[in-house]
Structure 1
Amino acid sequence: MTTQTTPQTLRLAIIVGSVRGGRFGPVVARWVAAQAQGHGGFDIDVIDLAEEDLPLELPAESPLAAGESYPRPPEMAQLTERLAAADAFLIVTPEYNHSYPASLKAAIDWHFLQWQAKPVAFVSYGGMSGGRHAVLHLENVLIELHAVPVRTGLSFPMYWQNFGEDGQPTDPMSFEFAKAMFAQLAWWGDALRTARDRVPYVA
């Protein structure tokens, strides 16, 4: 007889990547957070990078060499703690010039251990491509940092036409894709947390 155990609730950090004026990101993030809440397996922390101090000038020492002693500005301490506490990430990103915002790159580059051996899903929005160029670039960067991008994500091409005034996507399949994405994120989140608890990850 096989005994099945119920996974513990995962700490999910939803990162709002855009900081520009008039941004649409918070609308997408609110909808995504509601879908994550409906999944039932996540404790959700929405991290809006527009509310964070993210200097573009990095210290001379790399975070890989310095580990936890990496010299971050004191005002970044709470962001670092929130990233470290997460079991999984979901990044909400627009596409700027076929890539993702500088705010996201700064948040990523200021950290290293916080991303390791944790799954990352993506919800993108933009013009014809729906932000997929941004996601492809993010996947390459986060793999370098030993994070684990999941296969299923969401993209919203021509987002201004595909969200209603109520902040909901007009395509009902968006809700089904969100369910599939969160199912994968929960599976990987639980598997990787179990592995990290059993054996410390070595980069």
Structure 2
Amino acid sequence: MTMQKLKVKNLGPIKEADVTLGDLTILVGEQASGKSLFLQVMKLLLDKTHILNTLEKYNYVVNKSPENILTLYFGEGMSGVWTDETCIANMDTEICKKSSLLEKDGMDKESLFYIPAQRILSISDGRPKNFMEFDASTPYVLRTFSETLRLFFQSGLNADGVVFPAHEEMDTSFDESIFHGGRIVADESSGQKKCGWKLME
């Protein structure tokens, strides 16, 4: 499913937002103004069934109450951002009643890969953490990002142990302006695979 428009009303600090999405959309605002929250509800709207199934897969109780889902998704203490006046919608779907957060639509396919702002927490000791290693305060998007990275790290390395980029066909200007010949590689010197930065010769 593609999304061309997202409307958000009365969600935490977001009183009303109506955003038309282009090939590149940049959200600008002060800290704690709702930018990450806006992106999280975009994923929730697109991938609700996949999110519910993933939580069930890791033995979280998802059918207890909408507040339980909101806590598991946004993190502990964050369920209050969604009130009885909250509504999120795109051109095809809307979620306005909390109870609809418990309903699956049968589309168990992830449409949006979310790279969270706090992504460094997933590899704070050099290795991506398992989905269930995080405490209840951690948002779903960080847990699932770390788990995806962990699974990729286990099986997606090339012969040189390079984690990123996964292939050598990186645009030269992109490499020169951002990576300067450096690569994220698997370091096994400690007896456990961990991410490290290496300047390639």
- TM-score normalised to structure 1 length: 0.23
Structure number with the higher helix fraction is 1
Select the structure of larger CA radius of gyration. 2
Give the structure, 1 or 2, with the largest relative contact order (CA under 8 Å, sep 6 or more).
Answer: 1
